[in-house]
Structure 1
Amino acid sequence: MDNLPKKPDRRLSVAPMMEWTDRHQRVFMRGLTKQTLLYTEMVVAPAIIFSKDGPGRFLDYNQDIEHPIALQLGGSDPKQLSECCKIASNWNYDEINLNCGCPSDRVSAGRFGACLMAEPDVVADCIKAMQDATDIPITVKHRIGIDDLDSYELLAGFVDRVAQTGCETFIIHARKAWLKGLSPKQNREVPPLRHDIVHMIKKDFPHLEIILNGGIQTVEEAASHLDKVDGVMIGRATYETPYIMANADQLIFGNENKEVITRQEALERFLPYVEEQVANDVYVRHMAKHLFGLFQSQRGAKAWRRYLSEHMFQPGVGAEVISEAAKLIE
């Protein structure tokens, strides 16, 4: 473990999102920003431990391209989470994060995700077990509350209890989660955003690293919060309008020597990877789906999306589908 990466710079990160932040999306993101912290999709602990194909199915990534990168785990069994952290240590992740924020029924039924906010002692036991298993920094991602357990006092109590383990980094989605009555999609939209609550947590816990998540649409908006919190996480906007990340290295990380990449340049950087993956029998649609929003607001964007959606599912197609679609951008 002597060669483990240092604590990542969390001033800006891309949120873990199921079916979106896969290895292809992360490589695409790296064409836009080199320094933003990227996350895997959430992986449940039993999947890593009991996979017939081995843990690499869930843990493999391109170590030459994707750093800094965090692994997000789902679970509530300290022993299982400990074992996962031991296994993941061999993959050289920059961070391992425990999901205490996902509101889906399936997640709650498995006793992980947002429902764990009602059990801060369980979360603390999990975090401690994870810390004991690896030298990789362990963090937690959670909501500001769940159902009727939504007072500031309960949120502060949750943070305080988990922090007693030595956990220093809390990524807080600034919406409560309704575990009964709302779908996961509705839970991302219906409960009101309360960025002020996250700001207050930072004020009351100045010694902790507090990362704000929820409703951030641009890097400029993210930067506007950095005088109140230690970092900002952007979620859906990074796949709906991925080009917003093109100026992240300059605006957030102060990389003045790098020019902002154009949309076409970002696409050109990604195409060799697409060709390589297709040559390894990966369907082009798995990469192309991450490109739909690249030309959002540009002339020809609708034709670009239509061409991709009509051609990327055809048998035997390769990177040329993306190249042909790009010719429709004016």
Structure 2
Amino acid sequence: MAQHARAPERGARNVEQAARLSVAPMMDWTDRHCRYLHRQLSRRALLYTEMVTAPALVRGGAVHLLEFDVSEHPVALQLGGSDPVELAQAARLGAGAGYGEINLNVGCPSDRVQSGTFGAVLMKSPDLVAECCAAMIAAVDVPVTVKCRIGVDDQVPGDVLPDFITRVAAAGVDRFAIHARMAWLDGLSPKENRDVPPLDYPLVHRMKAEFPALHLSVNGGIGSLDQARAFLDAGLDGVMVGRAAYHQPADILCAADRLVFGAAQADSTAEGAVEAMLPYIEAHLAAGGRLNQITRHMLGLFAGRPGARAWRRTLSEGAHRAGAGPELIEAALAEVMAAGVPESVCGAVRNPL
């Protein structure tokens, strides 16, 4: 029988420790079904919601966006907004819902986010970010953190980033996740902003040297667990992994509890995660949900392994059909097993650690 991650520790007390390795907030990807899957792979990594806007919660009453399974802990809520009063109200709702951390988005470069005067455009307004964070800190008793870029447009990162951190830290924020790229708000799409601006990891290391008391995580372009561990070994406090954790979750997360957090436990497996998802899927379907709402996040589970293509094809072609249920997933898993590779620790086939 495949082994999967044990139930995580509950509550907010361990979010800073969990931030040694986190899965980045990603719009349309890190919803509650994705996070539940990732939690089957790692007990200890910190998981983030998609960005939820403060206006949607406060003015729109969309509190259903805060729903999550308690087994997702440690889990953090990312908010978008630029009004201190509104963000404080939204943070209060998030803390009341049980999130262990409230994170402010100062990194998203989309036009829609800019029009709301939040996201990466706030790199130009560090005093406003500080005011927003101070209001949130006063409103909740869980950590308030910031995810930012190294600068935007014509800013000089080496000048603007330390000033930004200084001002926001003075408001009480002691944990930052830094996406090590500029954001070009005019001329690049959000997708291009994830790839085109060059990465500047040395600047993030410099920030750690300048602000040794702060907890600094690096984000952007990190594609393997070995690379994440190298950043930690070099002195950074945390690593936030985005697309690689979504498209190749087994490679990033299955051995993370042992190799990043020092847990004395067997690594999880993709097979075990599939088995652990079945009761969750049955409950989701019984509540009126659709299978593909969950399986779309599972397509990369066996990335790089024999049978991965059959796994993806079976789920992609069948999960949207009326009446599709757990038997489709069991059939897809059987194809993986029939590919001739014995059940093994996640990631060991393609990237031995």
Give TM-score scaled by structure 1 length: 0.96
Is the counterpart of residue 303 in structure 1 residue 301 in structure 2?
no
Aligned pairs for 1:35-184 (under 5 A) are 35-52=44-61, 54-55=62-63, 57-63=64-70, 65-184=71-190
Relative to structure 1, the CA distance from residue 138 to residue 7 in structure 2 (aligned partners, 3 Å threshold; closer, same or farther) is: farther
- Pairs aligned (count): 324
Is the counterpart of residue 23 in structure 1 residue 29 in structure 2?
no
Counterparts of 2:156 and 2:126 in 1: how far apart (Å)?
14
| Structure 1 residue 27, shift from structure 2 partner | 0.8
| Structure 1 residue 318, shift from structure 2 partner | 1.3
Aligned pairs for 1:250-329 (under 5 A) are 250-256=258-264, 258-329=265-336
Counterparts of 1:99 and 1:299 in 2: how far apart (Å)?
38
SS at 2:258 equivalent: helix
- Map of 1:248 onto structure 2: 256
Give a deviation string over 1:249-295, Cα, whole Å, max 9, x none: 00011002x11122211111111111111111110001000111111
Q: Structure 1 residue aligned with 2:238, among 231, 234, 259?
A: 231
SS at 2:289 equivalent: coil
CA contact (8 A) 1:278 1:319 kept: no
Counterparts of 2:240 and 2:112 in 1: how far apart (Å)?
24
Letter in 2 for 1:301: A
CA contact (8 A) 1:102 1:114 kept: yes
Q: Which runs of 5+ in 1 are unaligned?
A: none
CA contact (8 A) 1:144 1:155 kept: yes
Q: Which runs of 5+ in 2 are unaligned?
A: 1-9, 340-353
| Structure 1 residue 4, shift from structure 2 partner | 6.5
- Map of 1:34 onto structure 2: 43
Letter in 1 for 2:322: P
SS at 2:262 equivalent: coil
SS at 2:183 equivalent: coil
Counterparts of 1:171 and 1:241 in 2: how far apart (Å)?
21
Counterparts of 1:263 and 1:14 in 2: how far apart (Å)?
17
Aligned Cα root-mean-square deviation (Å): 1.3
SS at 2:254 equivalent: helix
SS at 2:267 equivalent: coil
Letter in 2 for 1:27: Y
Give a deviation string over 1:38-57, Cα, whole Å, max 9, x none: 000000001111335x51x0
- Map of 1:199 onto structure 2: 205
SS at 1:193 equivalent: coil
Give TM-score scaled by structure 2 length: 0.90
Counterparts of 1:173 and 1:149 in 2: how far apart (Å)?
15
